[in-house]
């Protein structure tokens, strides 16, 4: 897609993307924090339908240096539940609006769907090499998302986000009536809780890499672009 350009300035992000991005930053912060506050007061993970203190666990925080009582003292699940559910709703609406809007203006198909050439192993190798050497795109290449950006954004938006919502509701007592099949699909209520936690870790990993890459590619320029929409194209290096 041809982006509006004047001189070295391009219009990189539409306003819907910008607003939804920052709302998601707030949601993610609160959801993660409130999730941790709840987890600390039940710091074990199990598989299947059944799990309680004393039952065979697949993860125990007490094996990692924090006893049950110490973790309990750090947590606060009343605060956790209140804010987790509140921001789950904001998160859900925000992303439905984001996906709906950008499907309609074909943002995904035009700018985020990787072409066949990009997915070719030679190109993947080339771009991976560029990432590993922390070389940010310049010139024309900086106008578009690189293939790893495209893939990771699509996975986060269309796989991990829905998975978080579905594995979240599968833990709720009401769903033992609404859709017990959904709970069974995860392999049980405790499995849903465990997978919800693992999926959280994947999202945290994404955020860490995402923020790191922003710094590699120029934090000021990129953060300004996500706020104002305007992005200054770095000049191609002339050798």
Partner 1 sequence: MNKKTGTLSRRKFIAGAGAMSGILLTGCDTDIYTPPAIRSGLMGVSDVLTMASQRLLMSGQGLVKEFETSDITKDFPAWGGTNPEDENYQRLASTGFTDWSLSVGGLVNRPSSFSLLDLKRLPPRTQTTMHICEQGWSAIAQWTGVPLTTLLEAAGGVKQEARYVVIDTYDGWYDAYDMFDVVHPQTILAYGLNGKDVPQGNGAPIRLRVERHCGYRNLKFLKSVQVVASVEDIGLGKGGLLSDYNWHWYAGA
For position 82 contacting partner 1 by CB under 8 A, the verdict is yes
Q: Are 165 and 173 in contact (CB under 8 A)?
A: no
Q: Give CA–CA dist 79/37, Å, rounded.
A: 8
- How far apart CA 43 and CA 225 sit, in angstroms, is 40
Query: In angstroms, what is the minimal distance from the CB of 124 to partner 1?
Result: 40
E strand or H helix at 44: strand 44-45
The residue (of 54 and 65) whose beta carbon lies closer to partner 1 is 54
Among 190, 199, 200, 221, binds partner 1 (CB under 8 A): 190
Residue range at the interface with partner 1 (CB under 8 A); choices 23-31, 108-116, 138-146, 183-191: 183-191
**# residues contacting partner 1 (CB under 8 A):** 33
Residue 59, beta-bridge partner list: 45
**Stretch near partner 1 under the rule CB under 8 A, chosen from 17-25, 83-91, 94-102, 225-233:** 83-91
Tell how strand 44-45 and strand 59-60 pair up. Answer: antiparallel
**Selected binder of partner 1 within 77, 131, 144, 230 (CB under 8 A):** 77
180 is a site residue for partner 1 (CB under 8 A) = yes
Asked whether position 176 contacts partner 1 by CB under 8 A, the answer is yes
The two beta strands, 9-11 and 5-6, are: antiparallel
Pairing of the two strands 44-45 and 9-11: unpaired
33-72 residues in contact with partner 1 (CB under 8 A) are 38-39, 41-42, 44, 49-55
**Residue 89 within binding range of partner 1, rule CB under 8 A:** yes
What single-letter DSSP state applies at residue 135?
Answer: P
Q: From residue 179, how far is each of 47, 88, 175, 176, 192 by CA, in Å? A: 19, 20, 5, 6, 13
Contact residues toward partner 1 (CB under 8 A) are 38-39, 41-42, 44, 49-55, 77-78, 81-82, 85-86, 89, 169, 171-178, 180, 183, 189-190, 193
């Amino acid at each position: 897609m041809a982006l509006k350009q004047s001189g070295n300035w391009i219009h990189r992000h539409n306003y819907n993307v910008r607003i939804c991005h920052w709302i998601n930053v707030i949601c993610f912060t609160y959801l993660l924090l409130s999730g941790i506050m709840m987890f600390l007061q039940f710091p074990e993970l199990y598989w299947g339908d059944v799990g309680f203190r004393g039952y065979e666990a697949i993860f125990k925080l007490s094996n990692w240096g924090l006893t049950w009582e110490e973790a309990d003292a750090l947590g606060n699940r009343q605060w956790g539940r209140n804010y987790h559910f509140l921001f789950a709703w904001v998160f859900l609406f925000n992303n439905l609006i984001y996906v709906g809007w950008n499907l309609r203006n074909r943002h995904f198909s035009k700018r985020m769907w990787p072409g066949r050439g990009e997915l070719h192993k030679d190109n993947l190798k080339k771009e991976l090499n560029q990432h590993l050497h922390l070389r940010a795109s310049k010139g024309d290449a900086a106008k578009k998302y690189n293939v790893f950006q495209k893939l990771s954004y699509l996975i986060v938006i269309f796989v991990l986000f829905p998975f978080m919502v579905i594995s979240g509701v599968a833990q709720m007592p009401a769903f033992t009536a609404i859709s017990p099949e959904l709970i069974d699909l995860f392999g049980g209520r405790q499995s849903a809780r465990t997978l919800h936690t693992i999926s959280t870790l994947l999202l945290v990993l994404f955020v860490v890499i995402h923020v790191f890459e922003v710094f590699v590619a120029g934090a000021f320029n990129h953060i300004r672009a996500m706020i104002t929409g305007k992005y200054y194209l770095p000049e191609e290096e002339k050798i």
